Chain A
C-alpha cells in the first residue's frame, strides 16, 4: 500500500511539473503578533479586488483563533501567474496563560475564554500543516528569531521537503533587524517587508511566484 501511495504521489508531482500546474495552498504561520493577518489582509486587498478581510488585527496576542481560508487568489509577478489558496492560521505557541490577556485589559472571564480558544487555534494551525503545499513563515523583525515556534515550523517543512518562504515583517519599526533572521536561517529565502505599510511587498509577490509557482 505504501509503495502504491508513494508511486501515486510521485506520479501526481510529475504530472504537475510537466503541465506546470500553478496552483498552491499556502499557509501563513508564525508566532502570535508577528503580523500574519495584517499580511493576509494586504494580499487579499492587493489581488482579490474585494473589500473583505481575513480578520481583525489587534495588539492582543491570539486575536486570530480560527484558521481562515480564501481560495483562488491570482497573483501575477515575474511574468508568471500563480493561483493561491491562502490559509491564515492562528499564532503558534507552546504556552498560553490567561493572565497575559488580562494585562491587555480583558476581564478574567474574557481572558479565560480567549485562552481556551487560543489553545484550540494552535491545534488547528498544527492540523493545517499536513494539508499545505508550502508556507509563508511570518516573523517579527524586531524580535529574536530563534523562537521554538520558528525552529519547529522550519524543521517540519524541511522534513516534509515543502517550500518555505520567511517573511521578515514589521520593517517599518526602527529596531527591525532582518539580518538577524537571515543569519539564523541562512538556508531559506528571507523577504523583508512591512505588511502594515506595504513596503517591499512587490518583492514578496515575486518571491511567492518564484517559490510556489
Chain B
C-alpha cells in the first residue's frame, strides 16, 4: 500500500498523477491519496482506466473518496480552487472492495494474494 502526500501530488500535472496511480494499481498496489484528485482528474482517471481494461488481466479500479468540499480561503476562490479534493483510496477492482461508505467514513476490504 502506498500513501501519497499532498506535497508530492501538488507538483504533478493531472496526467502525471493519473499515470502514477494507474501504474501502481495495475501492479496490485492500493494507493491512498492524502488530498485526492479534482473532480475533473477523477473522470480522466476513470476514462484512462476504461482504455486499459483487459480480459483476465485488469478489470478496472475501485476508487472511493468523500464528496468534494468547498475550499474555505478567499485565495482558493480567487484562483478557482473552490472545490478541494479529499482523501481517496484507489486499488485494483479484484482486490479492493468497499464495504460501507458514508459522509465521514469509508470501510474497505482488501484481498491479498488474489
Contact = CB atoms under 8 A, between A and B. Distances in A.
A126 B83 contact: no
Interface stretch (A37-45, A87-95, A193-201): A87-95
A129 B38 CA distance: 15
Contacts of A60: none
B35 interface: no
A96 B43 contact: no
B40 A94 contact: no
A97 B54 CA distance: 9
A120 B50 CA distance: 7
Q: How large is the interface on A (under 10, 10 to 19, 20 to 34, 35 or more residues)?
A: 20 to 34
A122 B47 CA distance: 7
Interface string A142-173: 00101010011011101100000000000000
A119 B94 CA distance: 17
A201 to B, nearest CB: 28
B46 A146 contact: no
Main secondary structure of the interface of A (DSSP, over half): helix
22 contacts: A92-B46, A94-B60, A94-B62, A95-B93, A96-B50, A96-B53, A96-B59, A112-B55, A115-B55, A120-B50, A122-B50, A123-B47, A123-B51, A151-B66, A151-B68, A154-B68, A155-B38, A155-B39, A155-B42, A156-B40, A159-B39, A185-B67
Interface of A: 92-98, 112, 115, 119-120, 122-123, 126, 129, 144, 146, 148, 151-152, 154-156, 158-159, 184-185
Given A122-B50, A151-B68, 12 more contacts: A94-B63, A95-B93, A98-B55, A119-B51, A126-B46, A146-B103, A148-B64, A148-B65, A155-B83, A156-B40, A158-B83, A159-B68
